[in-house]
Amino acid sequence: MADDVLIVGGGPAGMMAGLLLARAGVAVKVIEKHADFFRDFRGDTVHPSTMEILDQLGMLDRFLKRPHDELDTARIRVAGREYVIGDLSHLDTPAPFIAMMPQWDFLDFLRDEAAAFPSFKLVMEEPVAGFIEAGGRVAGIRYESGREEQAGRLVIAADGRSSLVRRLDLLAVETIGAPMDVFWFRLPRSGDPGDALRGSIETGRMVVLIDRRTYWQCAFLIPKGSGEEIKARGVDWIASEVRKAFPDLDFSGEGGLTSSADLHLLEVALDRLVCWHRPGLLAIGDAAHAMSPIGGIGINLAIQDAVATANILAGPLAAREGVDHLLHKVQDRRLFPTRIIQAGQKAAQEAVIGRVLGGAPITRAAWPVRMLDRYPMLRRIPGRLIGLGVRRERVRSSLARPP
Ligand SMILES: Cc1cc2nc3c(=O)[nH]c(=O)nc-3n(C[C@H](O)[C@H](O)[C@H](O)COP(=O)(O)OP(=O)(O)OC[C@H]3O[C@@H](n4cnc5c(N)ncnc54)[C@H](O)[C@@H]3O)c2cc1C
């Protein structure tokens, strides 16, 4: 069977779009440049909005059988004191918590579910180098390996923040900007499990820890562009800063941060494409709008884009109709939530992260944080925003039932 839709990138956006289109009977091929999904530098949060979608697809029970931790409260430590700032437990949704699952496990799950559909194909370790054009529209892809070009009725760019559509200047980018980058590394973990996600803010220092059961995955925020300068201070200095941020935790054990080769610098970007499509080509997920890690919502926004894409395009694609005239509808649908979330991330970057990393003295939490900690009812508001987001998608009933 020829592939109708070629999806570049097997991240959350690409895998979910591939799964949904294949469920609708569309011949789809997802092309991923890495050999597996086992990469460290991905977030671990699966939010209630994504689990709602899994529920609509009848996949939630199977998803929750995979190893994960459940988090229904958001906490932050500011200047040595812990504050509760979000409560998801009251959400009216099938899974009112954040499932902490390494992203490679989540992607393995989507791959296993998609494999049940004969029109789904996944090609690993095959970087895409560019697009082919015919008759004024994108008509397929070129592989980096020199393998034969492949034609498709629609190409979906789901290849993340350094997407080909950006590198090849096919679609213009509007930069919003971020004041920080992140060093991403592991530290050993001992002791009893506690909260699966922890954050600490103090003068000049911001750290987030994810409990991956056998080690801590650490995100150490640094001022944008200062990677080399911070690296020169040495890995022992960085590890000691994390220990100071979480004096109650036990970091003893083997492995972790031993040399600068163990440090991965993740450049944080906040931007979006002015136009997400051109004839024959649609960008979704981080390729269309690079998200800051704030709130841990990028994965979930990528999944919502995939659902909107399938809701709008699967029917006509399955009926072998042209879809170029429909591509703008995906952007029309998803631009509003993207704008709102990016505006929230920008505000948090300016009000908190830029100030903290700029060395502003942090003696106690800002008043909104203190209010949330004091009045439990108020915590439901950030809980709802983080958990369910803005304008959440619902899988069309025709897609929820496989053919
Ligand atoms: C430090 C950091 C921490 C984060 N933490 C979280 C978090 O905890 N929770 C959260 O929700 N979000 C988090 N985010 C944001 C989140 O990672 C992204 O928003 C999300 O991964 C976007 O999904 P995507 O599928 O659009 O793109 P990606 O996840 O970037 O996937 C793109 C895929 O395309 C592949 N690819 C790229 N180029 C090619 C090519 N030429 N050919 C073939 N394949 C290609 C890549 O290998 C990759 O698999 C974080 C971001 C950062 C920077």
pLDDT band at 402 (very low <50, low <70, confident <90, very high): low
Token pair 């390996």 in the structure block, residue: 145
Q: Whose CA is nearest to atom 35 of ligand 1?
A: 9
Alpha-carbon distances of 380 from 92, 351, 388, rounded to whole Å: 11, 22, 11
Is any atom of ligand 1 closer than 6 Å to the C-beta of 14?
yes
Is any atom of ligand 1 closer than 6 Å to the C-beta of 266?
yes
> How far, in whole angstroms, is CA 270 from its chain's centroid?
13
Q: Whose CA is nearest to atom 53 of ligand 1?
A: 268
pTM reported for the whole predicted model: 0.94
Note the pLDDT of residue 60: 97
For the CA of 284, the nearest atom of ligand 1: 26
122, 32 Cβ separation under 8 angstroms: yes
Q: Whose CA is nearest to atom 12 of ligand 1?
A: 298
Is any atom of ligand 1 closer than 6 Å to the C-beta of 325?
no
Tokens of 370: 């203190």
**CA of residue 290 to ligand 1 center, whole Å:** 9
**CA of residue 232 to ligand 1 center, whole Å:** 28
- Which of 20, 30, 32 maximizes ligand 1 atoms within 8 Å of its Cβ, making it the mutation to test the pocket? 32
Residues 133-169 pLDDT 10s = 999 999 999 999 988 999 999 999 999 999 999 999 9
**CA of residue 363 to ligand 1 center, whole Å:** 35
**CA of residue 286 to ligand 1 center, whole Å:** 7
270, 206 Cβ separation under 8 angstroms: no
Tokens of 148: 């034969």
More confident residue, 324 or 350: 324
Round the average pLDDT of the chain to a whole number and report it. 92
Contacts of 377 (CB under 8 A, 6+ apart): none
Helix then strand count (H, E) for the chain reads: 13, 21
For the CA of 290, the nearest atom of ligand 1: 19
Alpha-carbon distances of 218 from 68, 199, 243, 305, rounded to whole Å: 18, 10, 11, 28
Residues 7-17 pLDDT 10s = 999 999 999 99
pLDDT band at 189 (very low <50, low <70, confident <90, very high): confident
Cα of first residue to Cα of last residue in the chain, in angstroms, is: 17
For the CA of 288, the nearest atom of ligand 1: 26
**CA of residue 360 to ligand 1 center, whole Å:** 31
Residues 334-344 pLDDT 10s = 999 999 999 99
Note the pLDDT of residue 27: 96
- How far is 305 from 13, CA to CA, in rounded Å? 7
Strand arrangement, sheet containing 264-267: 81-87, 73-78, 197-202, 205-211, 215-223, 180-188, 264-267
Tokens of 208: 């987030």
